[in-house]
Amino acid sequence: MTNPDAIVITGIGAVTPIGQTAEGLWRGALSGKSAVRRVTRFDPSPFISHTAAEINDFDPTIYLDAKQIRRLDRYSQFAVACATQALEDANLDQGDVPSDRVGVCLGTALGGIGYAEEQHLNYIERGLKAVSPMLALTIFAGAGSCNIAIEFGFSGPASANGDSCASGPIALGNAFHYLRRGEADVMLAGAAEAPLQGLTYGAFALIRAMSQRNEDPETASRPFDKDRDGFVMAEGGAMLVLETRRHAEKRGARIYAELASCATTNDAHHMTAPRPDGSSAIRAMRQSIERAGLTPEEITAVSAHGSSTPLNDSTETHSIKAALGEDYAKTIPVFGTKGMHGHALGATGAFEAALCAMALHKGIIPGTANLFCPDPVCDLDYVTEGPRAFTPGPILSNSFGFGGINSCLVFKPA
């Protein structure tokens, strides 16, 4: 018997390096092709890393008029574009729900920092008069969620978080709780990121967090491979429409999947390295499974964080085995899609949430790109030969961020 109060996903919008719109993202994930190339947005030669997953075909004029394009930076443009797509995909018109019953939750690691860096160069070179008067209104994390609210007149709950690479799932979790508490009928939730500027990129290169496989960009991001050497920075966004099943069925909405639970913990250990024993990540996984009313043996697949960093991937493997039981964890598929779309920091977990929902809707899970020689330490059933059909069942999705932030979601079939 279905639960009418369950939180379901009825719309998806995406602007990503492997595809735009829900179907574009899905086709990109099924293709198995990497969008990573040498950086073109700026000269990366001063840095030890030269690769990124850029979006070079994004057209903001599809979603915004000329005045709005001048007012919104790339981060907020991504957010509004994804929200527009998600509402259209959900077949949800502005008049369908009272505006004060629709809210927005957005995640981002760095918000408008890329635009701030661009404007700082203007200031250094030409003085204050060369700086955009919109600068103060673009750099904070809440700019994205507020611009969505303004664009559509949504006056329900609105929030933004800056919880590093766990930002997207935490935004989805916040929206989940708003709906559960009855504070909204519909929530737009997801994340956006536009970090590809020289100094911002260079900051991550300085701490040697990114791949240095500059001679072969397309294989630079290789989750769980024994030769992985760091993540590959990306940009983009994804937004999901969430509502209760009761509300969705009343309006005859198509349902992709159910968002069954969320859980967040902190390693309290180190700003960049995961806790070696994975105990806090394990606890987040277990809590999300328990809150979904499931046992570990009912999880049928795992969407891994799989950042392609030496420490993360091995620690995540250990944590998955500990959370699900080592023997059982080795019998279910684990997939990580960052080898294709790179790591868009706070937005990536939203990419992956969208892919989980579509995987459940279509009965297919994506592959794990660039896994040429699996690390013996990473000894789970990583999907390596492209997409795989599966009988839809609960999917656990992991996101782990700098600062030791762990956020896990569980999705169920519609």
Residue 95 is which amino acid?
G
Reduced to 3 states, what is the DSSP secondary structure of residue 165? helix
Out of 82, 165, 262, 378, pick the active-site residue: 165
User: In whole angstroms, what separates CA 238 from the centre of its chain?
Assistant: 7
Cα separation of 147 and 126, whole Å?
A: 29
CB-based contact 3:255 (threshold 8 Å): no
Cα separation of 264 and 315, whole Å?
A: 17
Out of 343, 356, 361, 378, pick the active-site residue: 343
* Partner residues linked to 105 by β-bridges: 159, 189
Task: Please report, to the nearest 10 degrees, the dihedral formed by the alpha carbons of residues 177, 297, 405, 87 taken in order.
Answer: -40
* Residue 341 annotated among the catalytic residues of the structure: no
Radius of gyration for the chain, computed over Cα atoms and rounded to the nearest angstrom: 20
User: In whole angstroms, what separates CA 314 from the centre of its chain?
Assistant: 21
Out of 50, 247, 305, 341, pick the active-site residue: 305
* Residue 343 annotated among the catalytic residues of the structure: yes
Cα separation of 385 and 365, whole Å?
A: 11
Q: Supply 20's token pair.
A: 């735009």
* Residue 305 annotated among the catalytic residues of the structure: yes
Q: Supply 247's token pair.
A: 């509300």
Measured at the CA of 222, the angle between CA 192 and CA 272, to 5 degrees, comes to: 60
In degrees and rounded to multiples of 5, residue 398 shows phi and psi of -105, 140
Catalytic residues: 165, 305, 343
